[in-house]
Structures are given as structure tokens and as C-alpha cells.
Chain A
């Protein structure tokens, strides 16, 4: 252990200032935060402020002048049906990603936690999908979902369920669900690892005690596992909710928002508005509205989990 010598060294260095400057502790705290604050201000807040400014301007991305247009961009966004339809779709993705995605993450974490052998194998396997770039994910799932020779439909035929064959990405009733399946498959490993870590931290004695009290599996989950996991759930819930709301790559490679606008999401609308239609002002206005909605949702979600953890 190096600690005792470290402390001794520290003592020697810091004996001098007996009478301390009264604002010292504030200064120290702010100093600790200085690097993070500087970077965030410079590379996040300043650009975001510029984006807000841009939402009142007109710009094609290249021209040197950006004329002021007042609220015109916002009026346009409010009249834009596609944008609002995409907001509805992304709510569906958020609900699926949040509830189903996290249920799978948590369920699998509990399963691995219970397993006796090959735990580290499963831990690694479940992390694998997340390491691939979205281009490869698109290639692979496109191949799985392909209506005539795709693996899923061929599998259905081979087990005699021809009737269940579908045009997974082409049928408006199924497209959003299919994309969501890919999305959840791609991302559940992240939550899984955090939940697993949380589970490993629950002291075994508490389960023992519950067992002695005659608690069944559900009761143990409800009164031992769940309360211990609340903090993990808060962060995983927040991150997965934000992740699902900002879904982009998966949609773009699989359906590009189609068929029609059935899988259109705001990030894709914003991206197209900026990079295809060259209307950066409108795209900025959409970002501001969308960003505002996200902040609101995140606050609600945090509020709910906080109340739950208090009770």
C-alpha cells in the first residue's frame, strides 16, 4: 500500500497556510471543474448557442451570408407534417427501446448472474453487437429481413410456417417494429453490463435473509434486487431513453424513414433538412424544438425515478 507514505508526503507540503482564505473551498471546487467547464463551454455550449442563433437565420451551408429571417424557420417547422409525424414515430421507438430494451438488459443480467459457468463468455458475447459499425449492422439485418431470400423468411419456410413470412421492412405495419428489433439487439449489451455490475454488488446475505423469511423469487426481486438497482436503473434508463430518442443510423441504413414516412425520426429529418436540402436554418430550428422536447422528457423521467427511489 502506498497510501500512508503519500499522506505523509502530503502533510509536509501543506503545513504552511494556517490561516486560510475564506473562499478557498469554492476556488478549489471550481478549479477541479475548470477543465470540464472550459471544454464544455467551448465545444458544446458555444456551438449550441450558435445553432440557436442559426435557427433565426437562413443559410445553405456554403454561402458566406446568413440573412436574418426571424421566426420564419419556426413557422415552417410547425407547419411541417413530416417532422411531427417523425416525433410520433420516435416516441414509439423510445417506448420500445426503454421498456423492452431495458427489460432484456435486466433479464439477461439476472440470468448471467445466476449462471455458474462460463459467465465471462456470456458477458463478452452480449457485448459484441455493439462494437460493429452501423454500416455492417445494416448489411447484415438487410440480409436477414430480405423478403424473398432473407434468412428469417427462409427459416420460417424450413420449419413449415410459410404463412408467417413477411416483408419485414416493406410492410408499413411491421417496418417500425423490425427496425426497433434491430435497434434493441444492437444496444442492449450496454445496459446489460451496467445491470450486471449492479447485481454483483447486492450482498448475498440479504437474499439469505429473504429466503429465511420464506420469500419467493418474485418477492426477492421486488424487495431485495429492485431497490438495490434503483441507482443503476436511473442512469441506464436515462441513457437508453436518450439513445432511443436519438436513433439515427439504424433507421437510415434499414429503411431511410420509409416506407412512406412510417419509420421517419426527427434526427433523420434534421439531417436531411441540413445536408440534402441545404436549409441549415430550418434544421437548426428543428434541433432546438427536438432538443427542448428531449430535455423535458429527461426531466420527467428523472423526476419519476427520483420519486420512486425516495418512496
Chain B
């Protein structure tokens, strides 16, 4: 059983080569600047307001005193308490946790990229026994609910002596990312033109050489897309980290946030400040990769 991903179009767009400017289209649009565009922008701005609301909530709330935040009477802080951020940074041990999260996210994403691009390429281009079986397994794995495996995964890591170790954690994170990443990479490769590979193959290059020297350099946009989608998942993971790491100094950033979730001595304003700090790397990553992603997916992934 296979996802239908074969492109129906025969067009070959090589990624990285700029597309011809869409002058006709732009021209047509210019003619229509009017009620339609006003309505369009009203919709876009309304949606942006609802989507950006948490940023507003987070920034204002993180500068309030706890009493003010709890009273919830006003949306804006009467006095800006920047000290909340210092408290969050120090008490949340964010210097340590953020470093850990960066390391785990970068290594996991790198691992996911390597494993899933290899698998995706094989599924897209090579012919071999058991290909369909593997495709089915990928889909089935995607579907198994996470709580079903959680305990058993944990027991297994104990068996390998990989608890309290970044290696065990990163391996689990990589595995969790493989199915989606492989599907995306496969679709990406299916839509890549075959010319360069065929030329290399005629020259007698082995599949691995073709992959490493020809395919990967061209796959950068697809890899960027996978990196952003998977990076967010690793960055926000907490449950596995919680049970795996006994040493608090190995915990990821979500651990720093939960230290402010406590019903007996509530510190919601600090939680908000810590959250604001912790999402900065994710947003930066997204901004950096945004162009690549849209280009990458647009260039054929998911087709």
C-alpha cells in the first residue's frame, strides 16, 4: 500500500534555479486592487491578530506582578517588572537547560535528516525487495499512538543502560521523527529531475556516491523543511526527558518551565517570562528557514 505521491505534472523545475518572474499574474492582480484586496487584508489581519494574541498575552503577563496577573482586571501591566525575566533565567536554570535543548535538538535533527534522506531516497528511486513492506511499516508506525509504547520504550532503554544519557534520548527522538521526515523526503526526491543522477550512473558512479555528491546538495530546501518541522517537536518534548534523565542538569528547557508550575506557590508570571525566553530560539530557527521551507516544499516535497 502506497501513498499516492506521483506527480501528475511533467514539468521539471530544478530547485535553486530562480523561476521566471510571474509578470502576467502580478499584472492581473494589480488591476484588481480594490474591494477584494481590502476584504482579503481584513481577513489576513484578523487571523494574524488571533494568532499573535499569545505573544501579547505572554509579553504583558510576563511583566506583571503575580497579584495583577491573577486578578486579570487589566490587559496591560501597570508597572513593567523586568525583574521577572531575571528570576526566570536564574531560578529556571535556563542557561543550562537551553544549552541542553540546543544540543539535543541539533543532534536529533541532524540524525533525522541523515536517516530520513537515505530512506526517502531509496523509497523514491531505488528498486528492491520489501520496498512496499517498508512503506507500510512507516505508515503504521506513524499511526501507533505514542502512549502505547512509552513505558516499553523506557524499559528497553533501561535494558541498554541508556537511561540518564543524552545518547538514549537523542536516539528515541530520532526514531520518533523518522516516519514523517521520510515521507516528506521521499516526496521531495520523487519530484527531483532524474537527469543528473542518470548521467552520473552512466559514468559508473555507485548509488551512494550519487546520493552524497549529487542528490544531497540539491535537496537542501527539503532538508530545511524537515529540520523545522522536526526541530519544533524535539524542542517541545518533555515526557520522555522527564523519565529518562535523573540528573537534572541533563534536562531540556521544558524542565525549566515546569519548575514554575506549582499550585501551592504559583509563579505564573515567571512561567510566562521563561516561556517567552524559551520560544525565541524556535522563532529564530523558523525565520531563518522560512524561505527555504516554502521553497523546499514548493519545489516538490509533498507532491
A and B interact physically:
yes
Interface pair B127/A29, CB less than 8 Å apart = yes
Interface pair A13/B178, CB less than 8 Å apart = no
Q: How many angstroms from the CA of A115 to the CA of B41 in the assembled complex?
A: 7
Within 8 A of A (CB), among B108-150: 114-116, 118-119, 121-123, 126-131, 134, 137-149
Query: Which B residues touch A136, using CB under 8 A?
Result: 54, 58, 271-272, 275
Within 8 A of A (CB), among B1-43: 1, 3-5, 7-9, 11, 13, 22, 24-25, 28-29, 37, 40-41, 43
Interface pair B290/A6, CB less than 8 Å apart = no
Interface pair A124/B286, CB less than 8 Å apart = yes
Asked if A115 meets B44 with Cβ closer than 8 Å, knowing A29-B127, A197-B294, the reply is: yes
Query: Which B residues touch A11, using CB under 8 A?
Result: 203-205
Query: Which A residues touch B265, using CB under 8 A?
Result: none
Residue-wise, chain B 250-265 has the 8 Å CB interface mask toward A (1 for contact) of 0000100110010000
Q: How many angstroms from the CA of A48 to the CA of B149 in the assembled complex?
A: 5
How close is B65's CB to chain A, nearest CB, in angstroms?
16
At the interface, is chain B mostly helix, strand, loop or mixed?
A: helix
Interface pair A309/B4, CB less than 8 Å apart = yes
Q: Is A204 an interface residue (CB 8 A)?
A: yes
Most chain A C-beta atoms within 10 Å of own C-beta, residue among B4, B29, B72, B184:
B4
Query: Which A residues touch B303, using CB under 8 A?
Result: 198, 201, 231-232
B117, closest chain A residue (CB): A32
Query: Which B residues touch A294, using CB under 8 A?
Result: 143-145
Interface pair B156/A33, CB less than 8 Å apart = no
Interface pair B4/A33, CB less than 8 Å apart = no
One of A7, A127, A185, A205 near B286 (C-beta < 8 A): A127
Interface pair A43/B175, CB less than 8 Å apart = yes
Interface pair B118/A33, CB less than 8 Å apart = yes
Query: Which A residues touch B283, using CB under 8 A?
Result: 124, 128, 131
Q: How many angstroms from the CA of A123 to the CA of B116 in the assembled complex?
A: 26
A137, closest chain B residue (CB): B54
Interface pair B143/A295, CB less than 8 Å apart = yes
Q: Is A114 an interface residue (CB 8 A)?
A: yes
Q: How many angstroms from the CA of A125 to the CA of B240 in the assembled complex?
A: 30
Q: Interface range on chain B: under 10, 10 to 19, 20 to 34, or 35 or more?
A: 35 or more
Q: Is B102 an interface residue (CB 8 A)?
A: no
How close is A289's CB to chain B, nearest CB, in angstroms?
10
Could you list which residues of chain A lie within 8 angstroms of chain B, going by C-beta atoms? 2-3, 6-11, 13-15, 25-30, 32-33, 35-37, 39-40, 42-48, 50-51, 54, 61, 108, 111-112, 114-116, 120-133, 135-137, 139-140, 143, 146, 149, 185, 189-190, 193-194, 196-198, 200-201, 203-205, 207-208, 211, 227-228, 230-232, 234-236, 238-239, 242, 246, 266-267, 270-271, 274, 280, 283-284, 287-288, 290-291, 294-295, 298-299, 302, 305-306, 309-310
Could you list which residues of chain B lie within 8 angstroms of chain A, going by C-beta atoms? 1, 3-5, 7-9, 11, 13, 22, 24-25, 28-29, 37, 40-41, 43-44, 47-48, 50-55, 57-58, 72-73, 114-116, 118-119, 121-123, 126-131, 134, 137-149, 151-153, 155-156, 171-172, 174-175, 178-180, 182-184, 187, 196, 199-200, 203-211, 213-214, 217, 225, 229, 232, 236, 238, 254, 257-258, 261, 268, 271-272, 275, 279, 282-283, 286-287, 290-291, 293-294, 296-303
